[in-house]
């Protein structure tokens, strides 16, 4: 089997019209912030990018779990403002959605970014006294899986702080990225790549965690999603693999903005469980 890891992980080259997707993300995110019931640019920590936006669900009354959506960009790009509009779908079902930013590589290592997201989840749990459903796209899908696989009791929190999750085109074994040009910025050592790969972690809580991916994505992204679903299913976890036919890496990134999309409905189910 021939492998070209550089090509398989270069999503922008695989989707030549990716600028149109990103432009739409920015425009729709801005439009949703202007009409949503939301609190913007709240702090969860001391670092400049330790900020989040909270979008309140219609008629939700601040009850039930908070949906956490973590943005992607290979830990190198974007911030919370690019994905505000993904809250629209869950908000329509009464769910509150929190969208955080985090320090980017190479200023921060990926293990340090994982720690920032843990800090964020701990902050939400303490501040709002509610459980969380974690989701995210691409690198955000990786971070969502890391939150699902965290033993929260080690941090003095409710072991069930994260009650469920759904990754969208996530990355769960980071070792292949060491063989790509991106590692000049990611700066993954073997030690960090292993430590930051949730596929290799024990899973302390038997929560449901879905692994969704676009059918038009690269062989590596399909393998990553299927590998996590298979490994966690083997641990006795409800971890379905869901492949959306025809969706590329950018097209799948914000489908949750649609209240009636299957992904949004699944998030709603996970929150209600």
Q: What is the pTM of this model?
A: 0.96
Helix (H, G, I), strand (E, B) or coil at 42: strand
Q: Distance between CA 225 and CA 228 in Å, rounded?
A: 6
Largest CA distance in the chain: 53
> Domain extents for the chain?
19-272
**Could you list the pLDDT tens digit for every one of the 273 residues in the chain?**
457 999 999 999 999 999 999 999 999 999 999 999 999 999 999 999 999 999 999 887 778 999 999 999 999 999 999 999 999 999 999 999 999 999 999 999 999 999 999 999 999 999 999 999 999 999 999 999 999 999 999 999 999 999 999 999 999 999 999 999 999 999 999 999 999 999 999 887 889 999 999 999 999 999 999 999 999 999 999 999 999 999 999 999 999 999 999 999 999 999 998
Q: Distance between CA 134 and CA 121 in Å, rounded?
A: 9
**Candidate CATH numbers 3.30.460.10, 3.40.50.300, 3.30.360.10, 3.40.50.1820; the one for domain 19-272:** 3.40.50.1820
């Amino acid at each position: 089997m021939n492998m070209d890891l550089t090509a398989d992980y270069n999503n922008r080259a695989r989707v030549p019209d990716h600028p149109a997707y990103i432009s739409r993300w920015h425009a729709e995110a801005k439009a949703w912030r202007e009409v949503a019931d939301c609190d913007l640019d709240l702090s969860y920590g001391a670092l400049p990018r330790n900020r989040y936006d909270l979008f309140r669900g219609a008629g939700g009354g601040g009850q039930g779990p908070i949906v956490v959506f973590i943005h992607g960009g290979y830990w190198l790009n974007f911030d919370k403002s690019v994905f505000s509009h993904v809250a629209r779908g869950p908000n329509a079902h009464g769910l509150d959605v929190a969208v955080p930013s985090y320090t980017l590589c190479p200023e921060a290592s990926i293990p340090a970014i994982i720690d920032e997201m843990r800090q964020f989840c701990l902050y939400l749990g303490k501040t709002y006294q509610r459980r969380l459903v974690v989701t995210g796209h691409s690198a955000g899908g990786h971070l969502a899986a890391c939150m699902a696989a965290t033993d929260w009791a080690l941090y003095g929190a409710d072991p069930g702080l994260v009650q469920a999750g759904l990754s969208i085109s996530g990355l769960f074994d980071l070792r292949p990225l060491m063989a790509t040009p991106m590692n000049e910025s990611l700066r993954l050592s073997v030690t960090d790549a292993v430590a930051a790969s949730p596929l290799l972690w024990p899973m302390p809580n038997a929560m449901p965690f879905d692994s969704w991916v676009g059918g038009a994505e690269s062989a590596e992204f399909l393998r990553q999603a299927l590998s996590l679903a298979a490994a966690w299913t083997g641990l006795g976890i409800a971890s379905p693999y869901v492949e959306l036919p025809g969706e590329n890496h950018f097209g799948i990134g914000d489908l949750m903005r649609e209240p009636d999309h299957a992904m949004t409905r699944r998030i709603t189910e996970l929150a209600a469980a």
